[in-house]
Chain A
Amino acid sequence: MKIIERFDVPYYQYLDEASQLVDDDIPPLAENNETLLQLYRLMVLVRTIDSKAIALQRTGKLGTYPSTRGQEAVFVGVGHAMEEKDIFVPYYRDVGALIQRGVKLSQILAYWGGDERGNDFGPDNFPFSVPIGSQTLHAAGAAYAVKYYKEQRVVISMCGDGATSQGDFYEAMNVAGIWKLPVVFIICNNQWAISVPRQAQTATATLAQKAIAAGFSGEQVDGNDIIAVTHRTAEAIKNAREHNEPRLLEMVCYRQHDHTTADDASRYEPKNLREVEWKKEPLTRLQRYLEKRNVWDEQKQAALQVECAEQVDVAVKEYLSLPPQPRESMFDYLYATLPDIYQEQRDMLKNLKEVTHHG
């Protein structure tokens, strides 16, 4: 017997839960007050809108909403690491990356409020793809197009830990490895796929090692450490841009809320686990670090919270005052030109008198 291959799965953490820098090779970002403050402000904004969205749902003003609480660093860090020209393929649990891609908070609310217009994120951002993991293949396809047209873009694909059990996830990585596609696959491993914990999705020690079977490297990143998330994502994007090499990043964090507002995690989540994990959450970690660097204090914190609340209020007002789409619009985007045969149904819908709704 001989060993014909060996693999390593690195783990990256720069700022630990005690807000101490821990690695020998700390990236320059850890010294960049301006950027860190920007990231911190975004994370606080994301958490503020998150609480507001849940409140809106509870009062009947929003549909089902998936919280990003506790996972802010993953989305904010990934969004920051991307260049504008890059292509973003999100999954539905996202605020922090999208708002850095030019998407308005009110639009994200519109999506969860049941308005299709909330899903048009602009030319270089794919819409939310609800069937779990299916978007990873769109990312690989988009990356092929990037390569074909010789564009300098990279495609960033996001999914959750549950998505890694899907065939599409593996198929996307497999083809990206073979064709050397400029795509970075990012898993927000928040430990739960609705009620099923990470250990019940796979027997592997990490999700990062799933990349090994596809022929490229995977790494695990502390998803509560915004410095690690941002730096490792930026490195992966650079590598993809320069060498057409895909990479898989597993961002380890914890879902500090039910799966969505329609879920009740007390049915399955071990007692106290959320509290234990809360000690690692990303906002306080960065806040303490910024305080240690003497660029943050209680006064600034209070001011930021007021500022974020105001921003969210503006977004909520915008969302609530969004005029409805014309009802016949449900036919208007099926085809580039609606076939004549369906025109009759469109007219019928348009002229429909108010109907009695059930339930």
Chain B
Amino acid sequence: MADITLVEAITLALGYEMQADTNVIVMGEDVGKDGGVFRATLGLLDKFGPERVLDTPLAESMIGGLAVGMAVRGLKPVAEFQFMGFMYPAFDQIVNHAARIRNRTRGRMSCPIVFRTPYGAGIRAPEHHSESTEAYFAHTPGLRVVVPSSPARAYGLLLAAIRDPDPVIFLEPSRLYRYAKQEVKNDGKALPLDVCFTLRTGEDVTLISWGAMIKETLEASAILHQQHGISVEVIDVATIKPLDINTILQSVERTGRCVVIHEAPSTCSVGADIVAQIAEKALFSLKAPPIRVSGFDTIVPYARMERLYLPSVERITDAVFSLMEYA
């Protein structure tokens, strides 16, 4: 069993499910011969043919709207948007239609669609290629929003997303696409949606994150533990909507301290919601204020400054030190 990257795990999951279910099709810009700009659909055209691997015209709203019509009629489209910053023309189709067809028809019709897109900064790409606007979608009833942070979770969560009977926004941290390899069994086993994954257990502080920031969060937790003797619990939220707040609350109630770490700007972020829920439901377990380490409330800078924008290991460890000041 070879170790594979996160993007290879995506390809593996797509191939597995296309083999298992002929209703599954892949569509998007350059997903066919080119195999996608990140090669996430590499080899699928040869294996499954042009009827199931569709190079679409260059129109994102069209990708969203086609997927809705296809899904209502029995297909399970996995639609790729080339970058999250190019997804917005499809916002109407995703938010007004994919998320609502089931409700609009009182359960008669449904939209089992996966909208995949590379997500986040840190790959030295041009403008609009570095967005992490998961909150736009997390705000919408009817959607699921899922973010894997390792090859194995990418494989298992993508399978779960494709098999889910409702639309899923599947955000793939592009910074992690080729960052690390991991053994992934191509056994078709899906991971559960709607649950957080505890990546590391600890007693002093809970770090809550998702996507590419899991990398810095784990690095920070190792430093805190090894160099400072602070016992850190790390939760990978993974499914942002619906949020498994119970796993988070159980951890925070135990540690009494928490930091939410995410790339997105802080205003009205998913982190804001998590902190609000902790305040509402676990205030009296807290030893210190629940805080966030996030991207700044600014436009993600171009390549030369993007590292300054992204929360760093140091910002995370400093945040934890500040919390440890409270007894």
Contacts and interface: CB of A to CB of B under 8 A. Distances in A.
B93 interface: yes
A116 interface: yes
A332 interface: yes
Interface string A99-143: 000000000000000001101111100110101001011111111
A172 B97 contact: no
Interface string B74-110: 1100000000000001001100110001111111111
Given A168-B61, A178-B57, A332-B107, A126 B102 contact: no
B108 to A, nearest CB: 5
B91 to A, nearest CB: 11
Provide the main secondary structure of the chain A interface.
helix
Q: How large is the interface on B (under 10, 10 to 19, 20 to 34, 35 or more residues)?
A: 35 or more
B65 A137 contact: yes
A175 B101 contact: no
Contacts of A148: 25, 51, 70, 75
B141 interface: yes
Nearest to B108: A120
Nearest to B75: A145
B68 interface: yes
B69 interface: yes
A336 B105 CA distance: 13
Contacts, number: 136
B69 A145 contact: yes
B175 to A, nearest CB: 29
Interface stretch (B13-21, B151-159, B177-185, B238-246): B238-246
B166 interface: yes
A144 B107 contact: no
B87 to A, nearest CB: 15
Interface residues of A, number: 44
A84 interface: no
B142 interface: yes
B165 A336 contact: yes
B222 interface: no
A173 to B, nearest CB: 10
B73 interface: yes
A259 B110 CA distance: 31
A232 B93 CA distance: 31
A335 interface: yes
B166 A171 contact: no
B283 interface: no
Interface string A144-178: 11101100000000000000000110011011001
Contact of B73 (A87, A119, A168, A174): A87
A269 B106 CA distance: 38
Contacts of A167: 59, 61, 89
B286 interface: no
B208 to A, nearest CB: 16
B62 interface: yes
Contacts of B285: none
Nearest to A123: B108
A345 to B, nearest CB: 10
A333 interface: yes
A334 B142 CA distance: 5
A341 interface: yes
Contact of A140 (B65, B96, B166, B245): B65
Contacts of A178: 57
A172 B63 CA distance: 10
A141 B242 contact: no
Nearest to A147: B51
A149 B72 CA distance: 13
A191 B244 CA distance: 51
Given A117-B106, A334-B141, A336-B164, 17 more contacts: A87-B73, A116-B103, A116-B106, A123-B108, A127-B105, A131-B96, A134-B65, A134-B93, A136-B65, A140-B62, A144-B75, A148-B25, A168-B62, A168-B92, A334-B142, A335-B144, A340-B194
Contacts of A145: 69-70, 72-75
Contacts of B245: 341
User: Which 3 residue pairs across A and B have the least CB separation, nearest first?
Assistant: A141-B69, A137-B65, A145-B73
Interface string B15-40: 00000000001000000000000000
